[in-house]
Amino acid sequence: MKLHIYEHCPFCVRALMIFGLKKLPVEVCVIMEGDADTPIRMVGRKVVPILEKDDGTYMPESMDIVRYVDGLAQPRVADAPVDEAIKQWCESVSTPLFNLAIPRFTEGDFAELATPQARRAYTAREEKAFGDLAALRAQTPALLAQVNSDLNALEPLVAGRQAIDTTDFILFPLLRSLTIVKGATFGPQVSAYIERVSAQTGVALLSAQAK
């Protein structure tokens, strides 16, 4: 199988997580930013991740990929409902979190941004979605204050989490995105959670790129 991704993409992280957990072989292929033809040829629209199965068919949608791969090897890990409190936390923090992460993603060291053209295409795409990224970057202090408060509230919610389940495919990709933000304050429980899930899934954090 082949998994077509962007390295920065939190939805792609979900698909990478399940392959890492199941220890199943997969060829990871990065689609360049600005290349709409490849995903459109595969699934009819510009989207990632895309799983290319051994029979040559394609599957988009991150959680569909997670559930499909989860069914290939026991035990199942993504068959329970998402923890409601953590789901609500993710929904509440999503906007300020990505307002912090997106400007930094456009400057990041990712394979899909390896050419100047690709980086320009990605920056233009995000400016269309988020507006002036420099202005957004200037809001960092206020955004960090909000997100760090939210991170503090997350501490008791992750304190008892051990085995990977469906909830982690929602929560971990968001937190991994936030590791690219210098000044994001992860408490001891959240830090331990991030490190543990990263180790179990083989999905690297972005801490080395934090800015």
- CATH at 105: 1.20.1050.10
Determine the structural domain holding residue 65 and report its residue range. 2-70
Q: Specify the range with the lowest mean pLDDT, choosing from 45-49, 130-134, 160-164.
A: 160-164
Answer whether 17's CB lies under 8 Å from 69's CB. no
Backbone angles phi and psi of 27, in degrees to 5: -95, 115
In tens, the pLDDT along 62-120 reads 999 999 999 999 999 999 999 999 999 999 999 999 999 999 999 999 999 999 999 99
Residue 164 maps to a domain: yes
Q: How many domains does the chain fold into? A: 2
Question: Are both 103 and 191 inside the same structural domain?
Answer: yes
3-state secondary structure of 198: helix
pLDDT at 143: 99
pLDDT at 199: 98
pTM of structure: 0.97
Residue 78 maps to a domain: no
| Strand order, beta sheet including 58-60 | 27-30, 2-5, 50-52, 58-60
